[in-house]
């Protein structure tokens, strides 16, 4: 049981760190780069990125994180590591609400709406479309980035709170 618990904790920390890093990269590089580009290029690039992110490599990180965190919490609870279990459970709830649910209810619909846009030839029309999308999308992305970061740090704190027991 100890080895399974350790493996699930390691998996949950890895997934949490990966999704936090993914969202963070959008905050501090991707969106800034797109905002600096010709808006026609930015729209096309964002459409392509949003279409490409739906893949078998990303899905386990995005969808699996709250389940791995919850599984770690359950295993820790059965091992009588209540404080650690509570931290992992809190991490699961925070990521589920501020990462997964927020993304599916706000960012994905915005992405789907942008996917339907025909890129205008006129740069000013493209700029209006991009600005109407980019600003709000970035606000919600920053919220999910902070939420994912909090979830990761809660999981790390859960690891650090584990009582060391001799077997």
Residue 166: pLDDT over 70: no
CA separation, residue 51 to residues 45, 95, 119 (Å): 10, 23, 16
Q: Which residues lie below 8 Å from residue 45, measured CB to CB, with a gap of 6+?
A: 34, 37
pLDDT tens digits along 23-66: 999 999 999 999 999 999 999 999 999 999 999 999 999 999 99
In Å, what is the CA distance from 142 to each residue of 12, 15, 34, 115, 166? 22, 19, 16, 21, 42
Of the chain, the percentage scoring pLDDT greater than 90 comes to 95
Domain boundaries, the chain: 2-160
Q: First vs last Cα of the chain: how many Å apart? A: 12
**pLDDT tens digit sequence for 22-31:** 999 999 999 9
pTM: 0.92
- The C-alpha atoms of residue 46 and residue 34 are separated, in whole angstroms, by 8
pLDDT single digits (tens) 69-121? 999 999 999 999 999 999 999 999 999 999 999 999 999 999 999 999 999 99
Question: For a pLDDT cut of 70, what percent of the chain falls above it?
Answer: 98
């Amino acid at each position: 049981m100890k080895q399974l618990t350790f493996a699930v904790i390691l998996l949950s920390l890895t997934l949490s760190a990966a999704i936090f890093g993914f969202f963070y990269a959008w905050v501090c590089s991707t969106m800034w780069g797109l905002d600096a580009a010709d808006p026609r290029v930015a729209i096309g690039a964002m459409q392509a990125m949003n279409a490409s992110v739906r893949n078998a490599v990303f899905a386990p990180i995005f969808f699996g994180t709250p389940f791995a965190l919850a599984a770690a919490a359950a295993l820790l609870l059965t091992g009588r590591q209540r404080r650690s279990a509570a931290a992992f459970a809190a991490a699961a709830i925070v990521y589920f609400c501020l990462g997964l649910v927020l993304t599916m209810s706000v960012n994905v619909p915005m992405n789907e709406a942008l996917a339907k846009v025909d890129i205008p030839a006129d740069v000013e029309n493209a700029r209006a479309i991009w600005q109407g999308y980019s600003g709000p999308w970035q606000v919600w992305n920053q919220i999910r980035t902070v939420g994912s970061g909090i979830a990761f740090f809660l999981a790390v704190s859960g690891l650090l709170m584990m009582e060391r027991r001799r077997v």
